Structure formats: C-alpha cells, structure tokens
Copies of this chain bind each other. A is one copy, B any other.
C-alpha cells in the first residue's frame, strides 16, 4: 500500500486522473489548469472548485466565520480570473457538525454574500449537510470568457516576460502572527492577543481579494497574457506549473519579486528570509503571468504589476537570481496539506 504523502498533491492528482480521457466535444480543458473550460459556442464556461476543511485550511480559533465565508468565495473567483475570464455564479456546499448554531452559519453566509456583492456573482446552488465533526466548505465557481482571450498555463514561450501582481508573502506572515498569538493565548488565556499595527498582514491572510482589476486592465489595454496562474501555493510552486505545462525554463530576479515593507519587517522579526516567504508562503491570490516582450510597455505603466523575470528554454532550468548576484535552482514546494 502506498502512502498518499509519498506522491504529493500534484502527483496524486496525476495518478488518479491519468486514466480519464475527454470525450465531449465541449470539454476544451479538463484537469490541470486553474479551471475547466467548456465550449458553449458563443463563449466559454469556466468551472473551478475548491474544498476547505476545518483543521487543515482554516482554524476557527482566529478565523471569524464571516471572513471564512468571504475567503472561501474569493479563492475560487481567483481561479476564474487566472483564466482571464469573469466569474458569474458560485455554488456553496457545507458539511457541519451540530456544534454550529444557525446564527454561526448566518455569519458564514454573510461573508459569502459580501464576496458575492463585491464581485457581482450570484449564489445559485449548493448542498447543506451534517458532518460527524468540524466544518467542510466546498465552493464551485462558474465563469464566462471569450475563447480567444482565455489564458492557460501552457502558452508561455522562452523570452516571454514574467509578471507578478500585488505583493507576495504577506498572507503567510499574517498566518504566522495569528498562530503565534494562538499559542500565547493557549499558554495563558489572560493575555490579550497583540495584533496592533498588523492589519495589513492579518488582512491578507483572513480577507484576501481576487485580482478582478487586473483582468479588467488587460481588457482595456488590449493585452492577452501568454500564460497565467493564480499564486495560491507560493511563487515557486506556480512558476514550476507554468514551466512544466509550457515546456520552458525560467529565470526569476529576486529584486523583481514584490514584497510589502510590512512583510519584509515581519519576516525579519520571525527570523525568516523575506524572499522565502514570497516563494513558498502561499495564499497570496495574486496573479503570475507571462507576456510577449513586445507587450512590455502595456504592463510597465499599469499600477501594481511587476516584471520579475523571463521564461527560458527548457534546458536552462528554473533559477532564482539573488540580489547578491548568485544563481540558485528554485525548488517547488511539496503538498503542505498532508
């Protein structure tokens, strides 16, 4: 018998889904991108789904249910934006133990509604059931996109520029703060948590946003990225996905990776290297995408987009060029959840 830990998340998915083939003409893209793509003639329907499990993906000791509901929606919308498409509907299934009151669930749904309002998506279905223990939330997001604008992971070519939106590592550091305060509180319940001045980092962890603004900016500027993925598992893991599926190598410049000043400071407080937090932290829900060099001027003047490297031929490998001028092999993170 083979332990699931030995394969890692992506190895396990590959092994389990390898026997499946696509037969429906409308199935343009199956497993292996941010969302499935279904051809509807006039446009494409995109579908993405995520499961959040209490004790694995969230800890109710420091996660308000309203934030949890908001985040559960946003992380799915992020997958649709990562295809350069627009989310339109969501379905939400929850399994809950009887320890949750109706009022607690209303808090969760208030967060779901806030996200639906903010991103203009409709809740159109789901399932509600009980569970022997804890809470599991499964969200399916449905989007719409023009076939010629949909951006997959596999379209990058050597020479394409690597772009990153926003900043990376902050959500991970926000989580470290919350975990630290939880430990302190567990040791001494009289101590009030010290979250003063940490609103940015904690907000990035508890209430992330998806980059709808970027997809709209691409449209306005007549830009179609050659490949795109959302940064949910850390930059290193995502650049590996783009390179693997595009058949390229990549060079990332440490100096081009955007890190918020508060994340820089907090990383040092935790004795962590800020670039490691950006590369392996996860839960940023920013976009990583590649563009043709001729499109460089289109992104150079857009706010909140950073050019952080270049795609290379496959034999060049996947490298990080440090601020000190050294070249390191990048390593993809394993599956953090097993």
Contacts and interface: CB of A to CB of B under 8 A. Distances in A.
Interface of A: 1-7, 9, 12-13, 15-17, 19-24, 26-27, 29-31, 35-36, 38, 40-43, 45, 47-51, 53-57, 88-89, 91, 93-96, 98, 100-106, 109-110, 113, 116, 120-134, 136, 138, 140, 142, 144, 337-338
A169 to B, nearest CB: 22
B124 A88 contact: no
B51 A138 contact: yes
Nearest to A86: B24
Which residue, of A54, A88, A142, has the highest number of chain B Cβ atoms within 10 A? Answer: A142
A89 B39 CA distance: 12
A124 B29 contact: yes
Nearest to A9: B128
A133 B36 CA distance: 29
Contact of A123 (B20, B53, B127): B20
Contacts of A50: 93, 127
Contact of A51 (B9, B24, B93): B93
A126 B98 CA distance: 27
B338 A130 contact: yes
B142 A95 contact: no
A96 B134 CA distance: 14
A17 B69 CA distance: 13
A5 B47 contact: no
A47 B138 contact: no
Contact of A103 (B1, B54, B91, B106): B1
A299 to B, nearest CB: 29
Contacts of A122: 20-24, 27, 30
Contacts of A26: 88-89, 144
Given A95-B136, A338-B98, A123 B30 contact: yes
15 contacts: A1-B104, A4-B105, A15-B106, A21-B122, A27-B88, A36-B89, A36-B125, A38-B124, A38-B142, A40-B43, A48-B125, A51-B95, A51-B127, A55-B131, A56-B129
Given A42-B42, A123-B20, A7 B128 contact: no
A135 to B, nearest CB: 11
Nearest to A25: B88
Given A17-B123, A23-B122, A93-B138, 7 more contacts: A13-B128, A38-B124, A40-B40, A49-B127, A53-B130, A56-B130, A56-B131
A22 B123 CA distance: 7
A252 to B, nearest CB: 27
A15 B55 CA distance: 27
Contacts of A120: 23-24
A13 B43 CA distance: 32
